[in-house]
Amino acid sequence: MEHTSHEFLKALLETPSPSGFEQPIQQVVRERMKPFADGVRTDSHGNVFATRFPEGRPADAPRVMLAGHCDQIGLMVQYIDSDGFLYIQPIGGWDMQILLGQYLTVWTKTGPVTGVVARRAIHLLKPEERNKVPDFADVWVDIGARNKEEAESLVQCGDPLTFALGYRSLRNGLAASPAMDDKVGLWVCMEAVRLLHGRSLKAAVYGVSTVAEEIGLRGATTATYAVNPTVGIAVDVTHATDVPSGDKKTQGDIKCGGGPVLYRGPNISPRVFDLLEATAKAHNIPVQVRGTPRATGTDANAIQIAREGVATGLIGIPNRYMHSPVEVVHLDDLSNSAKLLAEFCAAVGPDTNWIP
């Protein structure tokens, strides 16, 4: 992976972006893409568009939208008790058993505040409580405040929280961090635009950092309406099954380092799938294929049904331990996904047929 691209990836992963609070990460995206895009803009929803225009900007040029969501699952301060402990509610989908015992960061208007999330120690739990997953009302965040007044001088209701952020390299090209879902997809879309810098295009390419995916594909819905793309491709993570608990019978045989995952199914245009597959073969890019028999829970779903309908594709980045503080991906899968998207965009022209 190119050095500045790797630094961009780390910057994304180390910048907070709970759904609804994506402004810090979108600033990182804007600064990165200014030298490589013909235009960078932000809409009132918070989506960021980095655009490459075709040579001469012909009126009949197709529009390609590449969407990766920048938001991550998070938490929100809901109540501060008289002793200064915080009670929280989820933003997005959480596994409470993973949340317990973690370091958290409260992202306040005046700066980050470190906390830990806990419940009563196992020694103090009743027998019937030990095998029960607690509710959010049963746990609290300790920021070390002496009382409510001190806590409220630092934190206010509505402040977002995340896992303590941090990027770590593992062996054999793997890397771990919270929020690989879906900052790696965002990285792939923007890296594809970077790779197209200086190349002559026959299609307009919109790399879009979408917001609020984790709470209902909201950013992709409004961004697709604005772009009105001829073809759209979402890039998100997909469950890697190369782990002891991997369920290949339901999730497919998906390996970290095996290449981008190309989806097939009713949420996917067969024309888009075929061109992605042919492009990968022409450029010796390894890919994996996964079937999905229904609408996906990704931006691809919102893209496909926008306006009169959009020819849609979906690329998955194999990801171990999704929605945890230790999500793991292979860096080669990111680089190969970006290369595949760039070559796909370069191949699209006015005569490309998207009718099934």
Structure tokens at 132: 């029960």
Point out the catalytic residue in the list 22, 191, 213, 327: 213
Q: How far apart are the first and last CA of the chain?
A: 36
Q: What are phi and psi of 209, to 5 degrees?
A: -90, 100
CA atoms within 13 A on the CB side of 322: 20
Q: Rounded to an integer, what is the distance from CA 276 to the centroid of its chain?
A: 21
Half-sphere exposure of 117 (CA within 13 A, CB side): 28
Q: What is the dihedral of CA 103, 107, 110, 114, to 10 degrees?
A: 0
Sheet with 39-42, side-by-side order of all strands: 39-42, 48-52, 204-210, 63-69, 231-239, 311-319, 261-264, 288-291
Is position 213 annotated as part of the catalytic site?
yes
User: How many Å apart are CA 85 and CA 144, to the nearest integer?
Assistant: 8
Residue 58 in contact with residue 94, Cβ under 8 Å? no
* CA–CA dist 303, 208 (Å, integer): 12
List, by residue number, the catalytic residues.
213
